[in-house]
Amino acid sequence: MNLMNLNFQYFFDAYPPVIKSHTFWMMFFVSIAVIIFAFLIKYFVIKKPIQVFKKLDKYSRELFLKFYNIFITFGIINLFLLFFRKVRVPYFQTRFLMIFCWAFILIWVCNTLQYYLTKIPTKRIEDAKRREYEKYIK
């Protein structure tokens, strides 16, 4: 892609064209589905875990709680941006904000997974050593 041919007006236009009906409804249902999925995670994994999730350790529950926060934030922000786009609020309906929101969520997910894959194994090892130590003290 040639940078000279890139039209920045497309991304930063204060009044982009009206969002098409099928695109609006698709994005609306995706946002609602993400919010519902977040509440299902909260209910079935954290609050009242079903049989499959009862065996999870505290670090796995923490990961699910972080994903709950990511999904609920993404769904609500996406609904707000979709609302602003539908009622044609200047500067709040720019395509850049939607791209920024998606990029923010992607970075948040990558950071969460990186934390889970790099820091959590060492914490699990430290917990095992501490339990072993406490076993002999008591």
Output the 3-class SS for 52-109. HHCCCCHHHHHHHHHHHHHHHHHHHHHHHHHHHHHCCCCCCCCHHHHHHHHHHHHHHH
How many distinct structural domains can be found in the chain? 1
Cα dihedral sign for 74, 75, 76, 82?
Answer: positive
* 98-109: average pLDDT: 89
**Other beta carbons less than 10 A from residue 68's beta carbon:** 19
Q: What is the pLDDT of residues 65-92, one digit of tens each?
A: 999 999 999 999 989 988 888 888 887 7
Flag whether 43 is in a domain: yes
Flag whether 50 is in a domain: yes
Flag whether 7 is in a domain: no
Block residue for tokens 């236009």: 13
Q: How much is the mean pLDDT over the chain?
A: 85
* 118-125: average pLDDT: 90
Flag whether 10 is in a domain: no
Flag whether 29 is in a domain: yes
Compare 62 and 18 and report the one with higher pLDDT: 62
pLDDT at site 4? 62
Residue 1 clears pLDDT 60, i.e. is over it: no
| Cα angle 29, 46, 81; round to 5 | 30
Flag whether 15 is in a domain: no
pLDDT at site 137? 80
**Domain of residue 38, residue span:** 20-137
Flag whether 6 is in a domain: no
Flag whether 72 is in a domain: yes
